[in-house]
């Protein structure tokens, strides 16, 4: 019997878990409850990791809301305390709104100015708020721009292919940006959900790679786990894999010499993502002028079916 990993950081009681441990994009399939929302939320991390369109939309909504609140404050004080307002062109609220946007951004065109103690106090508070908010947004933009990231893509499927007279589990990864990763290390873990004494438990097993570390990830890298007697996938056929609640967790980390920092990325494959009896086709070739190598990233999942003899004994029934 293979020795499973006990200290994975995940629970062994899979009856209390969801469908999968990690999503394809590497995020954990976990929702946290039990504490108030604001204690569970890290605004800094959320703004750093959210998609660009959500980040830009959040900024627009933030400044729009601020301008509306300050415009309402000016209206409550009285728009007559804003010198230069022309009531014939725009309604008072809109003119207060545009004055607020000019004050918040410290543009100050000058044709409208505050008059009176309350109006000047609100304008002063708004100017100070604008300076602080722009400093924070600028910091967030810089943080998003300079945040170290692995920029790795993985093949959509993991393959069980012929290899050295037997079979092997293979998946492929590549760096899709113009950065360069060195000292790249990969780890694979198989998570099996099994029935044991009436409970559904998760057993984690390390998947030994033929090459677990490369000096440079200049081209694509095919991770190969040879399925021998020491492998938890030994004697598992196509039907066994599909019927087993199996998940392959993939962890890759390396040193980015542009950021001078270690970056990492993860993904996972469930049984439905594993193709039995297929092999990857090359995704790089000589450039047309013969001066270099062309890495075709759109072919990272390019594979073809191959003949593969099913094992005579089912691992599930063994």
Q: Quick one: pLDDT at residue 290?
A: 81
Query: Are residues 124 and 265 both part of a single domain?
Result: no
The rounded distance, in Å, linking the Cα atoms of 294 and 222 is 17
| CATH number, domain with residue 127 | 1.10.287.70
**Contact (Cβ atoms closer than 8 angstroms) between residue 153 and residue 252:** no
**Contact (Cβ atoms closer than 8 angstroms) between residue 220 and residue 295:** yes
Beta strands 158-163 and 274-276: pairing type?
Answer: parallel
- Over residues 172-221, the pLDDT tens digits come to 999 998 888 999 999 999 988 777 776 777 888 999 999 999 999 988 99
pTM: 0.75
**Contact (Cβ atoms closer than 8 angstroms) between residue 123 and residue 153:** no
The total number of structural domains in the chain stands at 2
Model confidence at 8: pLDDT above 80: no
Which residues span the domain enclosing 67?
Answer: 38-146
Query: Are residues 137 and 190 both part of a single domain?
Result: no
What average pLDDT does this structure show over 112-138? 90
Tell me whether residue 220 is exposed, middle or buried, using C-beta atoms within 10 angstroms of its C-beta: 0 to 12, 13 to 18, 19 or more. buried
User: Quick one: which H or E segment has residue 76?
Assistant: helix 52-77
Query: Are residues 120 and 258 both part of a single domain?
Result: no
Query: Are residues 172 and 230 both part of a single domain?
Result: yes
Query: Are residues 196 and 117 both part of a single domain?
Result: no
| 316 located within any domain | no
Query: Are residues 184 and 289 both part of a single domain?
Result: yes
- Over residues 140-150, the pLDDT tens digits come to 998 888 888 88
Q: 16 falls in which pLDDT band (50, 70, 90)?
A: very low
């Amino acid at each position: 019997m293979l020795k499973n990993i006990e200290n994975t950081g995940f629970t062994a009681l899979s009856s209390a878990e969801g469908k999968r441990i990690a999503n394809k994009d590497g995020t954990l399939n976990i929702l946290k409850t039990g504490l108030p929302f604001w204690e569970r939320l890290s605004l800094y991390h959320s703004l750093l990791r959210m998609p660009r369109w959500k980040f830009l939309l959040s900024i627009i909504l933030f400044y729009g809301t601020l301008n509306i609140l300050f415009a309402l404050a000016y209206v409550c004080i009285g728009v007559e305390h804003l010198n230069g307002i022309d009531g014939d062109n725009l309604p008072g609220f809109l003119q207060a709104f545009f004055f607020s946007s000019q004050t918040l951004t410290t543009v100050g065109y000058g044709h409208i100015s505050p008059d009176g103690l309350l109006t000047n106090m609100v304008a002063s508070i708004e100017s100070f708020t604008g300076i602080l908010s722009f400093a924070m947004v600028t910091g967030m933009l810089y943080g998003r721009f300079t945040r170290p990231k692995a920029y790795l893509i993985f093949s959509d499927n993991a393959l069980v292919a012929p290899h050295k007279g037997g079979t092997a589990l293979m998946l492929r990864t590549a760096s899709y940006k113009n950065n360069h990763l060195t000292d790249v290390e990969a780890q694979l873990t198989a998570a099996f959900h099994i029935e044991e004494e009436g409970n559904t438990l998760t057993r984690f097993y390390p998947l030994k790679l033929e090459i677990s570390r490369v000096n440079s990830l200049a081209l694509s890298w095919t991770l190969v786990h040879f399925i021998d007697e020491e492998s938890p996938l030994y004697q598992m056929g196509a039907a066994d894999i599909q019927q087993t609640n199996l998940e392959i967790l993939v962890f890759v980390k390396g040193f980015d010499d542009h950021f001078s920092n270690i970056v990492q990325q993860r993904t996972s494959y469930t049984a439905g993502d594993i193709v039995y009896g297929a092999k990857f086709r090359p995704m790089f070739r000589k450039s047309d002028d013969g001066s270099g190598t062309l890495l075709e990233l759109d072919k990272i999942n390019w594979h073809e079916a191959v003949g593969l003899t099913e094992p005579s004994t089912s691992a599930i029934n063994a």
